[in-house]
Amino acid sequence: MSDAAHAHDDHSHGHPTGIMRWLTTTNHKDIGTMYLWFALIMLFSAGTMALLIRAELFQPGMQLTNPDFFNQLTTMHGLIMIFGAIMPAFSGFANWQVPLMLGAPDMAFPRMNNWAFWMLPVAGLMLMASFLLPGGAVAGGWTMYPPLFIQGGISYDLTILAVHIMGLSSIMGSINIATTILNMRAPGLTLMKMPLFCWTWLITAYLLIATMPVLAGAVTMLLTDRNFGTHFFNAAGGGDPVMFQHIFWFFAHPEVYILILPAFGIVSQIIPTFARKPLFGYASMVYATASIAILSFIVWAHHMFTVGMPAAAQLFFMFSTMLIAVPTGVKVFNWVATMWKGSLTFETPMLFAIAFVCLFTIGGFSGLVLAIAPVDIQLHDTYYVVAHFHYVLVSGALFSIFAGIYYWLPKWTGNMYNETLGKWHFWLSVIGMNLVFFPMHFLGLAGMPRRIPDYALQFTEFNQIATVGAFIFGFSQLLFLAVVLKTVKGGEKASSRVWEGAEGLEWTLPSPAPYHTFETAPVVK
Amino acid sequence: MIGKWQRVGMMGAALATSQSTLADYAYNLQIPASQVAQDVFELHNLIMLVCLGIFIVVFGAMFYSLLKHRKSVGHKAAHFHENTTVEVIWTVIPFVILMGMAYPAAKVVIDMKDTTNPDMTIKITGYQWKWGYDYLNDDISFYSMLSTPREQIYGAAEKGEHYLLEVDEPMVVPVGKRVRLLITANDVLHSWWVPALGAKQDAIPGFIRDSWFKADRIGTYRGQCVELCGKDHGFMPIVVEVVSEEDYAAWLAKKKGAAQSAAGDNTKTFEIADLMARGEQVYQANCAACHQADGMGMAGVFPAISGSKVANGPIEDHIALVLNGVPGTAMAAFAGMLSDADVAAVVTYQRNAWNNKMGDLAQPAEIAAARGGAATEAAAPAAQ
């Protein structure tokens, strides 16, 4: 969040100012800042949709929306949160932190970096604008399953195009990050000495490069089925609707780890700092991350246990999915062991990191329950699944993003955030989040399907708790916005180390980090 | 710090007590009514207990550390950062626990997939937005759709006990019989699920998948479509009535009698007033979800019928459209869903309701004739 004042530090001549500065910038800090603001805007947009969904579900009967608009809201909430909020936020962290942590002057491909970012607002606008088209936005679910996805209007084609653009942006971003990590480390900074955040992003980048083209292929087939008379997914023409699900989940299961591995990285930076103790089991953390990434390619069909696959396939995907619990468990044990016999303090980043470990594990356990094929068949497409992936994505990915922002914001702006407000934000978020999503486990067990705008009377009470929680959680994010804006504008000055226990190259720089850093590479011993 | 933890604890306690005083909260899977559902129920309980145990051990250790190893109580940080023995142990132990879970789970998977030796077979077809049931052994077929009135959904009437979980024609099966289900769909994906029976299977257009259940107890079991299938996905419930052998035989006899009298309608000639009355009913049940009760459709999604070219053009084209649908859109082919009398009635209704004042009518015999020739005619627009 460096502001325009830093432009003065820029020694090159004739640099544009104002809007052109941001349009043409190739500076990793500027681009990181833009990624993060874009993600925040998208978070609030898709969050507003979530509140509309929860308001409709406050009581049985149709009140605020109609069934078609409700489906548009659930679909767009999912697409925008994943592709517009969480992924760009992690790219923002990578842009800011990877060069600072590696002692590199910038990203490997600065101009491609600019392009990768500026594609995103275009795609985001296209998605949001589809609400205004005849027939409204896409209503077929973020999973885009045909044949339903073939039925829709013009906004479906627009969404396919937007997904293509966001995919391109991700591929370019990840090539950039992987190249930077592999080629631009400071002398002496070997791979096994890198901060864990860089490791998790390196592995994430490979996952993105491997799977984004698969998504592009799947949506291209949808596009030609819709417009050019092909029958990839139309049984009447010899195609197979289930084939789409195989291709989609071959992308989307690794995507789940794309959304969580950088979160593991952020938390692995924060816990040692506030435990004042090095990360426990660094090497096993790296191996666990790599194992999770590799396993993520052979578990996709656990999203499809109800399509009617042979028993042998169900058993294979059940066993491989259960295996993922092993490296994930190693990570959780390592974080707890890092805290063990430390000298702990509980500033806001640490609070979010601890909540992450605890609540992400709840999401992990419900994931294990869902890995058991017979139980999954009962719970598939119910609110239990909604509870599961929100524990992983809200108290997992999003909480790690909050933790990371509080942790590095003083380094980026030179100002300390307001600790009291930060703690208020934490407690309201953690209480709100659990109120929304914990009751959903019970709703799913009791048999409430997901993606329905109206429900039977026995589901009323838990839905009301969830809606109250959603509004607490949603409105507490305005507090987060206020804290960030206040910190960008001013506040108590931060030291270069910022946190007593912080280790790593970024903390050797002054706060705020100058516009250009590590023009001469530091030497790591 | 202490104050904060207390506050959280109090909130949790308050929440727990308020929940236990209310009767409508269910915390686990529905009470099973079949062996498979029972097996799944027990499997879920087992896994939950194991998870709970691990959670208490791991986070017990973490919260102990959070309390005792804090800087504010003067704890100095140790400097260890690896221990191979510990790391191997906490890799191997979870693996062993998982193997313990995998074995009982695999047994249930194999049992669920075994659809051999059924006592009877029912073919289930998902439509936007209703279910079709074909009893292959007894040669009866019917559709089953939501019977909750619109007034209840839109708040104009008080909601009934089985709001959104009630249908006009439930699926009826005898107790204690192995029922094999052949599940498919006509338009988009659906998924047939009755939680208490432990049977869930996606309905996939163009493919037939099977599943089975054997109900242990007489009773009414309710479920819903669980695969997003468009606008009225939330409004296509499933009701299975499990009855005694004698009641089942009586139900079968009644269904067969009703089928015969319905077939008689297809050879009759109707007055326009009868067709309009019947057509309105057919329209409300099959067309109004998309085209709306006022025939105005929904802009950009579902075309209007009132004032449309089809309803105000040649009647042959209108009949062909209803029979064959429009491929690639939500407009289904109704040839397989509606009888000749019903198609005649609904076409007549659409041509003479709202702003449409064609004054003509269709008779069941014309529909029967159109069915013969319609297949080739309809192929032309579909191929474009």
For chain A, what's the residue count? 525
Q: What is the CA radius of gyration of chain B?
A: 29
Q: How much of chain B is in helix, strand and coil states, percent to nearest 5? A: 45, 20, 35
Handedness of CA B83, B89, B94, B95 (dihedral sign): positive
Q: In angstroms, how far is CA B309 from the centroid of its own chain? A: 34
Question: Which candidate, A369, A364, A302, A298, places its Cα nearest to that of A331?
Answer: A364
Task: Report the share of chain A in percent with pLDDT over 90.
Answer: 93
**Residue A104: exposure state from Cβ atoms within 10 A (0-12, 13-18, ≥19):** buried
Rounded CA separation B35/B198 (Å):
8
Rounded CA separation B66/A336 (Å):
10
Of B4, B55, B83, the CB nearest to A365: B55
Regarding beta strands B199-203 and B190-194, do their DSSP bridges make them parallel or antiparallel, or are they unpaired? antiparallel
Per-domain boundaries in chain A:
4-508
Give the three-state DSSP class for A138. coil
β partners of residue B193: B200
Rounded CA separation A385/A403 (Å):
25
Q: Which of A164-173, A212-221, A402-411, B349-358 has the lowest mean pLDDT?
A: B349-358
Q: In angstroms, how far is CA B135 from the centroid of its own chain? A: 18
Chain A within 8 Å of B164 (Cβ-Cβ)? yes
A77 is catalytic: yes
Question: Which candidate, A332, A432, A318, A335, places its Cα nearest to that of A376?
Answer: A318
Contact at 8 Å (CB) between B196 and B214? no
A13 is catalytic: no
C-alpha distances out from residue B349 to B295, B305, B306, B319, B367, Å? 11, 11, 11, 12, 15
DSSP state of A513: P
Rounded CA separation B12/B9 (Å):
5
Task: Read off the pLDDT of residues A35-58 as tens digits, 9 standing for 90 and up.
Answer: 999 999 999 999 999 999 999 999
* CA atoms lying within 13 Å on the CB side of residue A418: 17
Rounded CA separation A135/B16 (Å):
44
Task: Read off the pLDDT of residues A207-250 as tens digits, 9 standing for 90 and up.
Answer: 999 999 999 999 999 999 999 999 999 998 999 999 999 999 99
Chain A within 8 Å of B304 (Cβ-Cβ)? no
| CB contact residues (below 8 A), chain B span 258-297, against chain A | none
Give the three-state DSSP class for B113. helix
Report DSSP letters for A151-198, one per residue.
H--HHHHHHHHHHHHHHHHHHHHHHHHHHHHHH-PPTT--GGGS-HHH
- Residue B162, pLDDT score: 94
A450 is catalytic: yes
Measured between beta carbons, the chain B residues lying within 8 angstroms of A388 are none
A253 is catalytic: yes
Whether A332 shows a pLDDT value over 60: the answer reads yes
Could you say which of A29, A185, A253, A380 is catalytic? A253
Regarding beta strands B171-174 and B178-185, do their DSSP bridges make them parallel or antiparallel, or are they unpaired? unpaired
Whether A298 shows a pLDDT value over 50: the answer reads yes
Contact at 8 Å (CB) between A202 and A261? no
| CB contact residues (below 8 A), chain B span 29-58, against chain A | 29-30, 36-37, 39-40, 43-44, 47-48, 51, 54-55, 58
- DSSP H helices in A394-514: 399-413, 419-446, 460-489
Contact at 8 Å (CB) between A513 and A100? yes
Of B58, B165, B228, the CB nearest to A148: B228
| CB contact residues (below 8 A), chain A span 139-178, against chain B | 139-141, 145-148, 150-151, 153
Give the three-state DSSP class for B34. strand
- Residue A246, pLDDT score: 97
Of A236, A378, A456, the CB nearest to B163: A456
Rounded CA separation B166/B239 (Å):
7
Q: Cβ separation of A318 and B109 shorter than 8 Å?
A: yes
Question: Which candidate, B182, B184, B152, places its Cα nearest to that of B165?
Answer: B152
Q: Cβ separation of B77 and A341 shorter than 8 Å?
A: yes
Rounded CA separation A290/A287 (Å):
5
Contact at 8 Å (CB) between A466 and A440? yes
Whether A30 shows a pLDDT value over 90: the answer reads yes
Report the residue of chain B nearest A288, measured CA to CA.
B91
Chain A within 8 Å of B25 (Cβ-Cβ)? yes
Task: Read off the pLDDT of residues A352-391 as tens digits, 9 standing for 90 and up.
Answer: 999 999 999 999 999 999 999 999 999 999 999 999 999 9
Could you say which of A255, A347, A376, A506 is catalytic? A255
Residue that wins the pLDDT comparison between B355 and A432:
A432
Whether A514 shows a pLDDT value over 60: the answer reads yes
Task: Read off the pLDDT of residues A61-97 as tens digits, 9 standing for 90 and up.
Answer: 999 999 999 999 999 999 999 999 999 999 999 999 9
**Class assignment of domain B120-263?**
mainly beta
Question: Which candidate, A460, A445, A439, places its Cα nearest to that of A58?
Answer: A460
DSSP state of A448: P
Reading the block at residue A123, the tokens are: 């795609």
Question: Which candidate, B156, B136, B137, B139, places its Cα nearest to that of B148?
Answer: B156
A328 is catalytic: yes
Residues A194-208, mean pLDDT to the nearest whole number? 97
Measured between beta carbons, the chain B residues lying within 8 angstroms of A339 are 62, 65-66, 69
- Residue B19, pLDDT score: 42
Could you say which of A74, A174, A328, A348 is catalytic? A328
Contact at 8 Å (CB) between B322 and B343? yes
β partners of residue B199: B194
Whether A9 shows a pLDDT value over 80: the answer reads no
Contact at 8 Å (CB) between B184 and B126? yes
Could you say which of A29, A77, A277, A380 is catalytic? A77
Residue A361 CB partners (closer than 8 Å, separation 6+): A332, B55, B58, B59
Per-domain boundaries in chain B:
28-113, 120-263, 266-383
Q: Cβ separation of B230 and A139 shorter than 8 Å?
A: yes
**Residue B96: exposure state from Cβ atoms within 10 A (0-12, 13-18, ≥19):** exposed
Give the three-state DSSP class for A499. coil
- Residue A400, pLDDT score: 98
Other beta carbons within 10 Å of B4: 12
- Residue A61, pLDDT score: 94
Rounded CA separation B31/A446 (Å):
9
Question: Which candidate, B40, B31, B129, places its Cα nearest to that of A452?
Answer: B129
Task: Read off the pLDDT of residues B320-355 as tens digits, 9 standing for 90 and up.
Answer: 888 888 876 778 888 878 888 888 888 899 998 888
Contact at 8 Å (CB) between A64 and A56? yes
- Residue B25, pLDDT score: 59
For chain B, what's the residue count? 384
- Residue A1, pLDDT score: 44
How confident is the prediction for chain A on average, in pLDDT? 94
Q: φ and ψ at B167, to 5 degrees?
A: -130, 165
Could you say which of A22, A30, A65, A106 is catalytic? A106
Question: Which candidate, A334, A328, A348, places its Cα nearest to that of A392?
Answer: A328
A417 is catalytic: no
Interface contacts A/B by beta carbons within 8 Å: 298
Residues A115-136, mean pLDDT to the nearest whole number? 94
Of B25, B204, B329, the CB nearest to A462: B25
- Under the banding of pLDDT at 50, 70 and 90, the label for residue A13 is low
Fold for domain A4-508?
Cytochrome C Oxidase; Chain A (1.20.210)
Chain A within 8 Å of B313 (Cβ-Cβ)? no
Mutate which of B73, B87, B239 to test chain A, going by most A C-beta atoms within 10 A?
A: B87
> Could you give the dihedral angle defined by the CA atoms of residues A387, A389, A392 and A395, in that order, rounded to the nearest 10 degrees?
-50
**pLDDT tens, chain B, 384 aa long:** 344 444 444 444 444 444 443 334 588 999 999 999 999 999 999 999 999 999 999 999 999 999 999 999 999 999 899 899 999 999 999 999 999 999 999 999 999 999 999 999 999 999 999 999 999 998 899 999 999 998 899 988 999 999 999 999 999 999 999 999 999 999 999 999 999 999 999 999 999 999 999 999 999 999 999 999 999 999 999 999 999 999 999 999 999 888 887 777 888 888 888 888 888 888 888 888 888 888 888 877 788 898 888 888 888 889 988 888 887 677 888 887 888 888 888 889 999 888 888 888 888 888 888 887 544 333 333 333
Asked: is B28-113 a CATH 2.40.50.140 domain? The reply is no
Rounded CA separation B16/A63 (Å):
30
Q: Cβ separation of B65 and A445 shorter than 8 Å?
A: no
Rounded CA separation A45/A128 (Å):
9
Measured between beta carbons, the chain A residues lying within 8 angstroms of B200 are 306, 377-378, 380
Q: Select B266-383's CATH number: 2.60.40.10, 1.10.760.10, 1.20.1090.10, 2.30.110.10.
A: 1.10.760.10
Contact at 8 Å (CB) between A131 and A48? no
Rounded CA separation A442/B323 (Å):
44
Of A234, A340, A382, the CB nearest to B226: A382
Q: Left (φ > 0), alpha (ψ -120 to 50) or beta: where does B300 sit?
A: left
**H/E element, A61:** none
- Residue A2, pLDDT score: 46
Give the three-state DSSP class for B215. strand
3-state secondary structure A248-308: HHHHHHHHHHHCCHHHHHHHHHHHHHHHCCCCCCHHHHHHHHHHHHHHCCCCHHHHHHHHC
